[in-house]
Chains A and B, each alone.
Chain A
Amino acid sequence: MATEVIKVTINGKGFEVPKGARLIDVCRDKAFDIPSFCYYADLALQASCRMCLVRIEKMPKLQTSCTIICTDGMVVTTQSDEIEKAQRSMLEFLLANHPLDCPVCDRGGECELQEMTFDWGGLEERFTEKKNYHPERYLSPIVANDPQRCILCKRCTRVCDEWMGEDAIEAGGRGANTVIGTYGGWLDCSQCGNCIEVCPTGTLLDGTYRHQARPWELSQTVSTCNYCSDGCQMSLGSRSGDLMRVVARDRYVNGLNGEFLCIKGRFGHPFVNHEERIRMPLIRYKKGGKLIPATWDEAIRHVARKLDEVADAHGPNSIGVVGSPRITNEANYLLYKFATELVGTTNYTTTDAFSLRPFFDNLGGPLATHRDIRYAKTIVLIGGEPEELQPLTGKQMRQAVRNGAANLIIFNSRRIRMVEQAAQFIHILPGTEDAVVLALADKSHDKLGTKQTGIDDGLFETVRQAIADTQGDVVIMFSGELSPEAQALIAQLPQSLRSDERRVLLHPLPLYNNSVGALDMGMMDTGTSAAQMLDAVGAPVRAMYVVGSFLPNQLHNRQAALSKLDFLVVQELFETDTTAFADVVLPAASYAEIDGTFTNNDGFVQRVRQSIPPVHQSKPDWMITAQIAIELEMNFGFELSASAVFREIADRIPAYAGLRYPVLKDETSPVQAKYKITDSRDLSTELTTLRQRVEAMAGSGEKLSEIPKVGHELFKIGTLTDKVPQFHLLASGNPRPETVRVSPLYQITVDAQLVNSES
């Protein structure tokens, strides 16, 4: 359906614009600048700053262009003495009570109010009265607040409500006494910091970066987040080798996430320059002995010799190679090459929590992009907890419901917070996600599914009907709870559910920044999990090459396996439970120090760019692998360039065919890998197996009624977030400090006990 086109005249020039276009967007699109503070695309209209005034013929008074939908024949003036006076006076009003402390304000240099003031120029200061006073304070360990600087555009309160569904921050008071804040003056929320990001002034401030640097000292590098599988684009701000902060401010970066980031992406970076980073290669010459610093040459030679010895003695399958869903495609690819071409072992895998291999092998429809999710009409979520584990997906879902009236259906064994947005929450028994897939895949199993999930009769039929009634996109999401057969069946659902007026898109919810990429690189092809690999220690595996570390639950009760290895080499940023058993530890460079690519849960292949040089003696993972290979007399031949590795990836892996770094350059239009979509695959065996699986389910147990607490996953202390003191405060329940005027960090002891100001 072609959108109708109408004519508008702006400043004497005629334009054709789509019907329904918003005047402020049209003006900006046609390069007529319109100043504004409160207008923010895809948030509820506010129309309170009154900066965007324009003159429209036949309308009384000046009009706010943010609230005007263009009509045919509309004649608009955006520049005139009258308009300039009005706009300048709004700015003057905003500055009246605004303190003139730009020189000490963290936002100075990238403050919209400051820029507007400079742009207008010649602003005479007529306000000579006393300014209203509000003391500075902290709202949480990571949100600092200077209420005096606030211009009440309420972007913060709107993102908190509309993006995050938290409504943790609001305007209190009235008139000139209006202050943005919270009850009790303390923020109990997921601490995403989006309120800080969208604040046009220095009112809400990054408490971890406070008074650390001025924006113009920082070099900005567009890169991809190294936490979850959503793959948010971000700008890394660094100064002389130190990563100072991470933002998604639209002046620096415009990725799939807009200005959205979660707490981990935005505040989880201080591990990069942390003092506990492994500084140099370390060798443990004797089991049970100490790790002793060594040179790179020494260490690489040592590793090569040891691996060679074990392979010679026990055959290639005695070498286990373990990649990681956290490292780049380039690094995983070289590990794959190392394992298959150099060593020739069949024992390789990654430390990912689960594998999406069966899903991708049976893919029956396109992957949904985050944009698709935002504009979807029906969303079905099976298991998972995106608001904690894939926060951007969570945000898109919320906006789809809120701004796009999407119908959200949730199958979950827990009453996750996302339920608040759901039109239908179907509360299933724990561990019965497979039964949901079985019923959705084949309606003859409705009865079985209903019984095993413990839900009311007819619910599967209503869900099927809701999908059938959808005009527009349906997105089906799932997470790690599914068995391989269920993954295969869900992957084929689009084949049976789609129609001419309905796309059915899939959105897997893996846990890590490069879960999908590691899979694409082939590292999960063996079907062996990390735990199985550990169980194979002794026979056949006798030596292991691990990049990253095993997850705590993989290692649980299996430490002995590591100690039994003849030889263990680990590439890591920090000492971990895995390096504790290593014979050689090689210092790896973090995401901020390297070039490469991550593939997110949309299938977008996105660039990781070097922001600072590798800290200490660390090196990119792929380069270390290549050097070990050279020592083992196989030269992969990439010299010092990640882009060359990527070229080979693109040439070898069909889904990546044709991709090059330059093609992936523009974060504003990310490129999706071309996964093979298989039509109507015969899945009768899978169906049978799944049915048996479901029949065998205990079919009893209790539904979990507790609502998971905000941040129970986000604030969890992992190897990386462990290095950020603020996360420890949050993980200890975000205690409200004695005085909110002093950084909470100064109010705790090392073991996160609150300091009493009385003592």
Chain B
Amino acid sequence: MFIGAIGCEPLQLARVHLENSRTLEVYRQHGGYEALQKVLSSMSPDDVINEVKKSALRGRGGAGFPTGMKWSFVPKDSPKPKYVVCNADESEPGTFKDRYLMERDPHMLIEGMLIAAFALGAKTNYIYTRGEYRYLIDIMDVALDEARAAGLLGDKILNSNFSSEIYTHTGAGAYICGEETALLSSLEGMRGHPRMKPPFPAVSGLYACPTVVNNVETLTAVPDIIKMGGEAYQKLGTEKSGGTKVWSVSGHVNRPGVYELPMGYDDMEKFIMEDCGGMLNGRQLKAVIPGGSSVYIMRAEQVIGKDVRMDYEGLVAGGSSVGSGGFIVMDDSVDVFESTRNLTEFYKHESCGWCTPCREGTDWLVKVFKRIAAGNGRPEDAQLMLDLCDNIEGKSFCPLGDAAAWPIQSAIKRFPEDFRKHLVRSGQNQERLDEVRLT
């Protein structure tokens, strides 16, 4: 599996190939904790937030919310304790970048979290890691012990007046716990149901205290932002999305892996065909899901010769979005009906069951897929599925419902032939399928 940067100097992946890259020693030899030193010796919390704002860093967890802005929502004058929580729940199908960031460079995350904690005045911080990544929790625990022993964590960090602790916490198998409010419910020891927003976590989050939840990659970007300055970081990417982005590439390419690209990397076709080593076994590209399972699926025609820029705006223009950067490439052996069914089963399995449309809608959709797959499709099924998606989208309690609807909506719209195939197989009249309005 490939791991490295393309089109830019590696930032996030700068140390991944070094021997013993996990150790504090190696991390420090390569500039580790300099940013923290700089922050503690010469910056105020507001300075830090300003640098992050200037960097145009957008959250890498999927929603892409500007990180500096999120940090500035935390009330300065609140007497309550504040928390920084790292979202390492990484469960979006097709996404595995956080895993390698933590596995290869755990101290980068610790440094990023400490800088965030300094900016927000947090004394206690948690890394919420999905339960399946047990070995990463062990790695993080070792790294945290190292940092503590070196005076980089805990009381009076680097002999400054700043004290802050970081603890690891484990999930136990629930995709929904990646959603930030569900994550907080889970961290409080409850079922992982999302909570109402407002109040937003920045105001009332963990234990009803101001809390910032950030993705691993978001936090690991922070040390570099401090070191090179927000502006320089932003310039690596585009005006609206600064810096670099780490993509997880899987599926039918010759070189799947973890790729760090500058934001706005030009273009997606080149990325697949050259950087990722081209299509596996020389087959034809059929579809790309560029940002994890929750984004619109793209047809090869939307990629080939279309010059799709790989950043937030570019991907929206290209007909999808960055999401979590889980880049799944599919060749012409894939039946998009089946791949969509696979994802719908995922959402059904992971729906927390709180709200009606997501709980019942995903259950229903899976049953329809199953019926069609068993040869009992009906021409009106495509329309039925679209309508069910429409009834889920925008009505669910949290975005998981939307995320379940989008793959289906885009798949039916962009790959009608794959759906038609299944409905026709059942020997029913196919004309009506052509009438299906797919917008």
Contact = CB atoms under 8 A, between A and B. Distances in A.
Report whether chain A binds chain B. yes
Contact of A129 (B349, B350, B351, B367): B367
A669 interface: no
B400 to A, nearest CB: 10
A633 B362 CA distance: 80
A152 B359 CA distance: 10
A50 B367 contact: no
Contacts of B357: 50, 89-90, 93
A176 to B, nearest CB: 4
Contacts of B371: 129
A93 B350 contact: no
B355 A175 contact: no
Contacts of B370: 129
B284 interface: no
Contacts of B196: 45, 47, 67
A178 B359 contact: yes
Interface string A46-59: 01111101000000
A272 B302 CA distance: 76
A96 B370 CA distance: 16
Interface residues of B, number: 30
Interface in B130-177: 174
B395 A62 contact: yes
Contact of B368 (A90, A129, A171): A129
B18 interface: no
A160 to B, nearest CB: 15
A132 B363 CA distance: 9
A13 interface: no
B397 A47 contact: yes
Contacts of A45: 196
Contacts of A62: 394-395
Interface in A21-48: 45, 47-48
A276 to B, nearest CB: 48
B384 interface: yes
Contacts of A49: 355-356
A99 to B, nearest CB: 14
Contacts of A175: 348-353, 359, 362-363
A152 B356 CA distance: 8
Interface in B372-396: 384, 387, 391, 394-396
Nearest to B396: A50
Interface in A69-104: 85-86, 89-90, 92-94, 96-97
Contacts of B352: 174-175
B364 interface: yes
B395 A176 contact: no
B2 interface: no
B394 A61 contact: yes
B360 interface: yes
A151 interface: yes
A127 B395 contact: no
Contact of B356 (A94, A132, A174): A94
B191 interface: yes
B97 to A, nearest CB: 26
Nearest to B350: A175
A93 B356 contact: yes
A11 interface: no
B408 to A, nearest CB: 15
A89 B390 CA distance: 10
Contacts of B396: 50
Contacts of A51: 356
Interface in B316-371: 348-357, 359-364, 367-368, 370-371
A171 B395 contact: no
A86 B352 CA distance: 21
Contacts of B174: 174
Contacts of A126: 384
Contact of B360 (A85, A86, A96): A96
Contacts of B367: 129-130
Interface residues of A, number: 33
Interface in A175-221: 175-178
Which of A45, A174, A178 is packed against the most chain B CB atoms within 10 Å?
A: A174
B356 A176 contact: no
A701 interface: no
Contact of B364 (A53, A85, A96, A178): A96
A175 B366 CA distance: 13
B355 A97 contact: no
Contacts of B359: 93, 152, 175-176, 178
Nearest to A94: B356
B395 A96 contact: no
Contacts of A90: 356-357, 391, 395
Contacts of B353: 152, 171, 173-178
B360 A176 contact: yes
A126 B356 CA distance: 17
Contact of B361 (A48, A86, A93): A93
A176 B348 contact: yes
Contacts of B394: 61-62
Which of B350, B351, B359, B368 is packed against the most chain A CB atoms within 10 Å?
A: B359
B395 A94 contact: no
B397 A94 contact: no
Given A152-B359, A175-B359, A176-B359, A48 B364 contact: no
A35 to B, nearest CB: 12
Which of B196, B355, B371, B387 is packed against the most chain A CB atoms within 10 Å?
A: B355
A176 B397 contact: no
A177 B391 CA distance: 21
Given A86-B391, A175-B362, A50 B348 contact: no
Contacts of A92: 391
B354 A48 contact: yes
A577 B178 CA distance: 66
B437 to A, nearest CB: 15
B380 to A, nearest CB: 9
A21 B348 CA distance: 36
A50 B363 contact: no
B315 to A, nearest CB: 21
A510 B212 CA distance: 52
B368 to A, nearest CB: 7
B397 A93 contact: no
Interface in A540-574: none
Contacts of B363: 96-97, 132, 175-176
A67 B362 CA distance: 24
Contact of A50 (B191, B355, B362): B355
B355 A89 contact: no
Contacts of B397: 47-48, 50
Contacts of B391: 85-86, 89-90, 92-93
A20 to B, nearest CB: 15
Contacts of B349: 175
A283 B261 CA distance: 101
Interface string A348-379: 00000000000000000000000000000000
Closest 10 CB pairs of A and B: A89-B391, A93-B360, A129-B367, A178-B353, A176-B363, A175-B351, A175-B353, A61-B394, A48-B355, A48-B354
19 contacts: A50-B356, A61-B394, A67-B196, A86-B391, A89-B391, A90-B357, A93-B359, A93-B360, A93-B364, A94-B356, A96-B363, A127-B364, A129-B367, A152-B354, A171-B353, A174-B351, A175-B352, A175-B363, A176-B359
Given A86-B391, A129-B370, A132-B363, 8 more contacts: A53-B395, A62-B395, A90-B357, A92-B391, A96-B360, A171-B353, A174-B353, A176-B351
